[in-house]
Amino acid sequence: MMDLEARASSSNDILSDIDQSAIRGLLKEGEKYIEFLNKAIDSLSVPDNNIHERRMEGLARIERLRIAIAPHKKVPAEIWSEIFTYCVDRPLLYLPPLRTQPIWTVMAVCSRWRQIVLAEPRIWNNLRADDKKDAKYMNELLNEIFSNRGGNGMIRYWAPWITNISTWDDLTRLLSTYPSRVRHLGLEFRNFFPPTTPTTPINLEHLESIYFSYIWQDSYDKDAMPATDFFTSEALQNVAISIKKTTSPAPWPSRISLPWAQLTDLSVGIVSVSMVRPVLMQCTQLVKLSIHLRGEPSCHDLSHPPLHLGHLQSLSFMVYSDYSESKYFINVLYVPKLKILSLGDQYWTEWPQMSLLSLINRSNCPLERLTTSDLALEGADVVQLLRATPHLIEFFGYTKGYIPDAILNTIRTEKLAPKLRVLDGLQVQSLKPFIELVQSRCSISRIGERHGIWATGVAIPENHPAIDEGYYKDALDGLKNFGIDIDVYRA
């Protein structure tokens, strides 16, 4: 029985029902013993230190027994894991530990809680290592986490800024030691390229995505070899590359070597079309592409065959400076499975309408979501786009001028984009034809299914009549009965 009492008071393990019953028996005995001592103390005419010490020891023992069968001791480890996961109150668990993150406090409460935290993969699967103030401490901490925290859970690891050979060697040593733990790797090179790459690339067998950021603040070697051939991974599908220079866009590192043919998701910027096109020619399996282009003073050869991205479903591209750059890019694309398209830039003053229509017709793509840049689209362009996209479900068409009533009436009477459910970003001369357009699309089937436009937003001129009077109030209230709340704002 004493062994049980010692184990219960020194461990946070869950006790069996038999052990808990035994502890309750000891607790009753202890309480009777304290009651006996209290009566003995009351009957003493002269204080007895020995009895007082025995009473204090008895009270301490009762407290240990009560803790041993406390309600929180019955909570299974799985429940604690769910609770502790919420203690990681940021998307990333920062290293070295931040005092503001409660998970480190939880680990210090008791041995059982610490063991539960250490074993939970969700707590240790998204790490961000900041710049090293103490390289030795950080390396020891990272090795401990990679070796025995979170079980065999895969880790998303964002390494410290790589600014010298020491941080690079620390990184490759960590990856070489635990090549099977990494699912995502984030690398940020600042004014530094590794002088050489390992003789034998590290096989990161579970690596699915990688992020490279190259940032130069000073002069740099244009012929330097980017650190992309230090690893191999048959699981790699997602790559993001950011190329920046503080004074001007840096040139594309032409020697980047990656398994382009197996990628399904690629994000690159800031690059010119002519420099990125040879890379895209190799990306035969891409499903999602995000690209930020920059202009270059060169003559684009439009005699090139189309850039065939046969699996691409989502395309997002912006242009850093030159409008013609986007036109050239659109003109060489062939995307027969494209469903999501976002294009433009907040500084655009022109819109590549003919090139975009040519892309849609040439590809015969089932476009379902279209997002345009701010202040680029004309009213006539909206009609042509909707005519060319019968499968469109969501249209975020930000216009640079107020659309005449006739344009809205054309969309309504021709029933353009019959599957449209979201319409946002239009600037209109008057609100009435827009409301009529939305009303004409509203219906509910017998089984309660909604059809038509259900999410809307529209801008009206500053001097437009108040929308809370007369027709507008009644019409807007009527749409609310259908569950539609038009977001009207003044431009």
Report domain extents, the chain: 2-74, 368-491
The pLDDT of residue 192 is: 81
Q: Cβ neighbours of residue 359 under 8 Å, at least 6 residues apart?
A: 330, 331, 333, 335
This prediction has a pTM of 0.80
- Calculate mean pLDDT across residues 260-282: 86
Q: What angle do CA 177, 178, 184 make, to 5 degrees?
A: 135
Cβ(228)–Cβ(212) below 8 Å = yes
- Calculate mean pLDDT across residues 38-48: 73
The pLDDT of residue 270 is: 75
- Calculate mean pLDDT across residues 66-74: 66
The pLDDT of residue 70 is: 64
Q: 3-state DSSP call for residue 315? A: strand
The pLDDT of residue 8 is: 55
Query: Measured between alpha carbons, how far is residue 124 from residues 59, 116, 131, 251 in Å?
Result: 41, 12, 19, 36
Q: Cβ neighbours of residue 381 under 8 Å, at least 6 residues apart?
A: 351, 353
- Calculate mean pLDDT across residues 207-218: 84
| Residue 377: CB atoms within 10 Å | 24
Cβ(187)–Cβ(212) below 8 Å = yes
- Calculate mean pLDDT across residues 80-91: 78
The pLDDT of residue 299 is: 47
Cβ(323)–Cβ(348) below 8 Å = yes
